[in-house]
Amino acid sequence: MILYPAIDLKDGNAVRLYKGEMDQATVFNENPAAQALEFVNAGCEWLHLVDLNGAFAGEPVNAAPVEEILKQCKVPAQLGGGIRDMATIERWLDKGLSRVILGTVAVENPDLVREACKEFAGHVAVGIDARNGRVATKGWAEETDVMVIDLAKSFEDAGVSAIIYTDINRDGAMQGPNVEATAELANAVSIPVIASGGVSSLDDLHNLKNCGAALNGAISGRALYDGAIDLAEALSVLKS
């Protein structure tokens, strides 16, 4: 399993939100590239980046810090937030991004996801953000009637490289991930699943790892910034 340290970008800073609320953002580093380098130097093999402003705006907003991270860090990175058309996907991949994460557009324009998977094979993931089992879009501001597993299964044959599953009610709350829902999703589809939201201890990582091979990785943010999880220990747990 891969550990993906999260760098959420708001107004150019690395922040963490509490349960997805933009007005409850804690700034952890005013230099996101320095933060990313810290993670890489500690042994992280991937980076998980989110343009929070972009998720609400529907277009990239924190492009400058993302580009600086890509320039300074020689590990693959995935980015979500405000990526809703082919031109934006192509632009990010041209700048060195390894994987784009399509969230809102996966609900509103699933054909674009399929087109992107054909055009940029291996570089497109779907982000499924859920509240009480239902998918939320547009920076988690809008809830839909779409069920998580139904949406995931609809992309089973599309060539999606991964599904990033976030339980919004757990995100940034340090309450532990929704292991049951994550395992249910991972076992329902053949697409690799990456768990996000609520990872707050080494025990949480152990529990996610026990979900089996269907779970490809885990994203952690606040727990790494707060020191609740020792990064070296976390990497060791997931590699063992």
Packing angle of the helix pair 202-209, 179-188 (nearest 10 deg): 30
The CA-based diameter of the chain, rounded to the nearest angstrom, is 42
Query: Catalytic site residue 8?
Result: yes
Q: How far is CA 34 from CA 9, 169, 208, in A?
A: 13, 29, 29
Contact 106, 136 (CB under 8 A): no
Please say if 129 is a catalytic residue: yes
Q: Of residues 8, 51, 171, 204, which has the active-site annotation?
A: 8
Choose, from 51, 129, 167, 204, the residue flagged as catalytic: 129
Q: Kind of pairing, strands 215-220 and 2-10?
A: parallel
Full DSSP string of 16-55: EEETTEEEEEEEEES-HHHHHHHHHHTT-S-EEEEEHHHH
The token pair at 163 is 């599904």
Q: How far apart are CA 232 and CA 159, in angstroms?
A: 33
134-137 and 142-147: which strand pairing? antiparallel
Torsion of CA 69, 72, 73, 78, to 10 degrees: 30
Catalytically active residues, by annotation: 8, 129
